[in-house]
Structure 1
Amino acid sequence: MDKVAEILAEASAEVVEPRFRALAAGEVMEKAPGEVVTVADREAEVIIERRLRELLPVPVVGEEAVAADPALARALHSEPAVWLVDPVDGTSNFIAGRPEFAVMASLVRAGQTVAAWIWQPVTATCYTAELGAGAWRGGHRLTRPPAPAVPAKWRGSVKSRFLAPADHERMQRNAHAAFGEVTPGRHAAGIEYPDIADGELDFILYWRTLPWDHAPGSLLVTEAGGVSARLDGSTYRPEAPGGVDGLLVAADRDTWEHVRTVLFAD
């Protein structure tokens, strides 16, 4: 666990942090319509991939490599073990000079996330989780307390912009009517999932669930005592892009059930 944490922190220090608020002209590119990438994303992924393979020689499914060759993501279903890597989670924040970004990795065995690492460079904070062994922030073990007893005091985020407009509007309307504070999110899963584990938020609904974004945080939250499940209640497992949509993350099972009921009410 410590070695992977070191790999992420070192790659961040080598090629990500020096470019924070210092990106040069030409170091930001569009990799797909509406999707941007930086030189830092690409260089960090190369470093992390090489060092992870030295540690455990299994396929690496990295966000930027899959953008270039989507077939690489099939390893999640065809290989017994796979590394998942998000070299700069929250790239839009990184480009804008906002501090909410992270460097993330996870290990998936037989389709299940068994270990996760989230490095937040600006605060030098490392979150880790291991299946059956707990979730940690640095040397502090995380135990997620239950959400407040009254839903009107809950804080959460409903990230529904990939839904049809009518469904998006209905969910937003339902959430704002039922809960204490509904935020637009922080545009980085590597910041938002720790917010759930730390008790800063009580729930988040995600619609698009790219595996490198959600495998690390889902394990962190569940090992801290929270819930991360598909909308049918099934346990989250990382899927290749284009697979299952919809993921609800919450402080506890009762909160999860209530939020799902509220959001999908007609």
Structure 2
Amino acid sequence: MLMDKVAEIIAEASAEVVEPRFRALAAGEVMEKAPGEVVTVADREAEVIIARRLRELLPVPVVGEEAVAADPDLAKALHTEPAAWLVDPVDGTANFIAGRPEYAVMVSLVRDGRTVASWIRHPVTSTTYTAELGSGAWRDGHRLTRAPAGTDPAKWRGSVKSRFLDPSRRRMVEANTTAFGEVTAGRHAAGIEYPDIAEGAMDFMLYWRTLPWDHAPGSLLLTEAGGRSARLDGTPYHPEPPGGEDGLLVAADPATWERCREILLTP
């Protein structure tokens, strides 16, 4: 029941305030919330609707991307409360503003510091991905199982997000990407990239900055499909408030994860 109700909430909020503004944002509906970061009225309105309805469903704190931008202390609930909702009302806001279809609406439920359920909605295709800890990953009700990527890195496709790496590590990592078959810039939306790995379009992603609303939904989806999401020291990913631990490698399967780390992080 919970899985279906949250899926309904994000689909309805998307249809109400996000989708009508796709490729139709008016002047003044795009604002800068921090240097180099933008937000739209769709982000803010969708978060308000989703947060209210999630609290009605389960009355625990809501850690929303836009609410945390206004009050960073809200994110402490991920550590201090036994349960909390995570909300990313428009993941891939830059894509949304540019009229590119790669954006998503995402929600996660965190209990005792672990992501236990997640929802990713792709409004353009009306596709919903869901995952529940220990129960599997799903796309529109169909079970997702990620096959291993194979043993030859020269055939793997992936992405390395090196923007936030320190210069020396960035040079090392970027030089090491030549071992792979194809390394792209990614799709600029975690809610698109994680399903790409879970469904076999990509084999790995290396992230550095790991905001919880970006990575909690997809990490659970991928791991429940058979992939691996872990910090660079090998510890499993758990959502951290902004400013917490950096660095996250996700891959199609545990063996691919180990080999990717070896390749990317070897000086």
Q: TM-score range by the shorter chain?
A: over 0.9
**In 1: Cα distance, 2:254 partner to 2:109 partner:** 25
In the alignment, what sits opposite 2:188? 187
Residue of 87, 90, 93 corresponding to 2:89? 87
TM, length-normalised to structure 1: 0.99
- Does residue 34 of structure 2 align to residue 32 of structure 1? yes
Count of aligned positions: 265
Please state whether the residue corresponding to 2:117 is helix, strand or coil.
strand
In the alignment, what sits opposite 1:66? 68
In the alignment, what sits opposite 1:252? 253
How far did residue 225 of structure 1 move?
0.5
**In 2: Cα distance, 1:166 partner to 1:122 partner:** 39
Task: Give, as a single letter, the amino acid of the residue that structure 2 aligns with 1:240.
Answer: P
Residue of 126, 129, 138 corresponding to 1:127? 129
Please state whether the residue corresponding to 1:53 is helix, strand or coil.
helix
In the alignment, what sits opposite 1:261? 262
Cα deviation 1:71-124 (Å, max 9, x = unaligned): 000000000000000000000000000000000000000000000000000011
In the alignment, what sits opposite 1:172? 174
Cα deviation 1:229-249 (Å, max 9, x = unaligned): 011100100000000000000
CA RMSD of aligned residues (A): 0.6
**In 2: Cα distance, 1:88 partner to 1:222 partner:** 23
Cα deviation 1:167-198 (Å, max 9, x = unaligned): 212211211x1000001000000000000100
Q: Determine what percentage of the aligned residue pairs are the same residue.
A: 80
TM, length-normalised to structure 2: 0.98
How far did residue 139 of structure 1 move?
1.6
How far did residue 149 of structure 1 move?
2.2
How far did residue 161 of structure 1 move?
0.7
In the alignment, what sits opposite 2:105? 103
Cα deviation 1:140-184 (Å, max 9, x = unaligned): 100000002211000000011101123212211211x10000010
Unaligned 5+ segments in structure 2 are: none
- Does residue 208 of structure 2 align to residue 207 of structure 1? yes
Task: Give, as a single letter, the amino acid of the residue that structure 1 aligns with 2:175.
Answer: R
In the alignment, what sits opposite 1:161? 163
In the alignment, what sits opposite 1:48? 50
